[in-house]
Structure 1
Amino acid sequence: MARTYKYKEAIPMQRHVSNCLASLLLLTLINPSEARQADPEQAIPEFRPGYLVGYLQKEDLPNSLALLPPPPAAGTPAFLLDQTLAAKSQALRGSARWELAIRDADLKFPAAAGTFSCALGAPISEQQTPALYRLLRRTLADAGLATYSAKTRYSRTRPFVLNQQPSCTPEDEPKLAKDGSYPSGHSAIGWAWALVLSELAPEHADAIWARGRAYSESRMVCNVHWYSDIREGREVGSTAVARLHSDPTFQADFAMARKELATARSQGLDSGRDCAAEARALAAGID
């Protein structure tokens, strides 16, 4: 989708944000923030109801166009692999794995907050872990927006457009068809979340990384991204996290989130999700 949104300044002295592609990937949520960093205790401005600005200013976002190679060209072995895995993933249509991919497609909060709760072994909510909740909402913007220089340049056609097979979110197909496929923003976001959470809870790192990988693979299951899209999306997510670690506001939220997790564990709070059902769904991978 090539829809353009313009927003007025969210806080005093902010510059106007203009001419940034909005995407269903981010559910047309935000544009790059040039806002000053807010104190962790202050209200964070939104560019669209329910969606917070990120930690990084526009000029500090990783440049995915400089970072990534071009997407695989038609007829190359890499694109043949993309097509082969796309075809295999369609065998999961209608399965529990397909249903999980539908849930993974939803970037809205609070729904998206619980994505990693089972892997983390603790709840993630605005009430129980507010700093962690805020951390995920804001890093969503940073990792997702970092994909856009490459997405805009390459405007790669999405799988469901090329193979004429359904996606897991048919209501979104008209918008997605106009939005570049490479790299995957969901994959950048999910992998960024996985890296941040694995640092907060290293004892659960393997489970968190596995969930982050599966989260990105949900985009293949949904037939909205190619394998190379999600692989390079994870690269962008990793780069965004590396950049975030130099941001003082991110560091402050990170420290508070660590304390919240310790408190949640000491209170014996569980994930609040059906983790057994999630595990069964994840067991059905793409062969």
Structure 2
Amino acid sequence: MSLLSSAGRGLAVLCLALSGCAATPDTAPVFWTGFQDHPHGYLSADAAPNAARFLPPPPAAGSLREQADIETYRATRALEGSARWAMAQADNEIETPSAPRVFAPALGVTFDPERVPTLTRLLGRMLGDLETIQTPVKKGVRRPRPFVAEPAATCIAPQPWLTASGSYPSGHAALGWAWALVLSEMAPDKADEILARGLAYGDSRVICGVHYPSDVEAGRIVGAALVASLKADPDFQADFIQAQRELQTLRAARP
């Protein structure tokens, strides 16, 4: 495969991120590299749900639910060094195009963004939509993360921005569940495996020590609201059809 020129790479990234065009036959698709050039979501701020308006508040201080959250946080510290702890470390990845590879075993294929460019872009744009939906509640509810309220081992080294950000709701749980809902519709014969992996992706945040169980549950509500809204968006629906075809072709070609 020949290397693209700098100008060609820039054009390809712009093309994939903004207009969704496919790569030409003699070039491989080029994707974004981080949040700086990440594609925007499908939903406008006016069309997107506002999580601050439909999510219940986090558990009240001293409530039985908060106590259960804290007890779970303490109990899962015992998983440090286990295989599930290592899985939680890997599930910390949320940036696309690489993050959706966690669903590859459930789908029974190797997730290769170059072979499913429309699917890759669709899943990436969903991250942009998630930010639109959850930002109001993230800013309005300043629930300290578990490791901030009670310092203990976490599966990742918390960066300053993570320490300063609110715990409620879990964005990872929201996106993992939203991805699972979309992928299970694209591959209904693998729905059980996909949905189970989507749940595990959110549970990893509890095991990691960066969210409470109630944060994860609220995140899944946000993820479901995101998918419900996208189903009414014509651009998403058009991309969904093409992405499903790509996935079907990829799965048909597996050994």
Using structure 1 for the length normalisation, give the TM-score: 0.76
Q: Greater share of strand residues, 1 or 2?
A: 1
- Runs of 4+ more than 3 Å apart: 37-40, 42-50
Q: 1:69-122 CA distances to partner (integer Å, 9 max, x unpaired)?
A: 111012101101111111121111111111111111112334313011111122
Which amino acid is 1:59 matched to?
A: D
Aligned length, in residue pairs: 232
Q: 1:189-229 CA distances to partner (integer Å, 9 max, x unpaired)?
A: 11100000010011111111110110000000110001100
Contiguous gaps of at least 5 residues in structure 2: 1-16, 24-30
> Are 2:56 and 1:86 aligned?
no
- The residue number in structure 1 matching 2:162 is 176
| Equivalent residue in structure 2 for 1:115, among 78, 84, 102 | 102
| Equivalent residue in structure 2 for 1:71, among 58, 70, 81 | 58
Task: Please give the alpha-carbon distance, in whole angstroms, between the structure 1 residues aligned to 2:120 and 2:237.
Answer: 14
Task: Please give the alpha-carbon distance, in whole angstroms, between the structure 1 residues aligned to 2:37 and 2:94.
Answer: 11
Sequence identity, in percent? Answer: 44
Shift of 1:63: 0.7
Q: How does 1:146-157 map to 2 (within 5 A)?
A: 146-157=133-144
Which amino acid is 2:139 matched to?
A: T
Asked if the contact 2:173/2:201 (under 8 Å) is kept, the reply is yes
Task: Please give the alpha-carbon distance, in whole angstroms, between the structure 2 residues aligned to 1:123 and 1:133.
Answer: 13
Asked if the contact 2:18/2:39 (under 8 Å) is kept, the reply is no
Distance 1:55 1:204, change over 3 A: same
- The residue number in structure 2 matching 1:218 is 204
Task: Please give the alpha-carbon distance, in whole angstroms, between the structure 2 residues aligned to 1:46 and 1:240.
Answer: 24
The DSSP-based 3-state class of the residue aligned with 2:59 is coil
Q: Greater share of helix residues, 1 or 2?
A: 2
The DSSP-based 3-state class of the residue aligned with 2:104 is helix
Using structure 2 for the length normalisation, give the TM-score: 0.85
| Equivalent residue in structure 2 for 1:40, among 20, 25, 33 | 20
Q: 1:103-162 CA distances to partner (integer Å, 9 max, x unpaired)?
A: 111123343130111111223222111111111111122124322111111111000011
Distance 1:42 1:121, change over 3 A: closer
Asked if the contact 1:110/1:125 (under 8 Å) is kept, the reply is no
Q: How does 1:110-259 map to 2 (within 5 A)?
A: 110-172=97-159, 174-259=160-245
RMSD value, Cα: 2.1
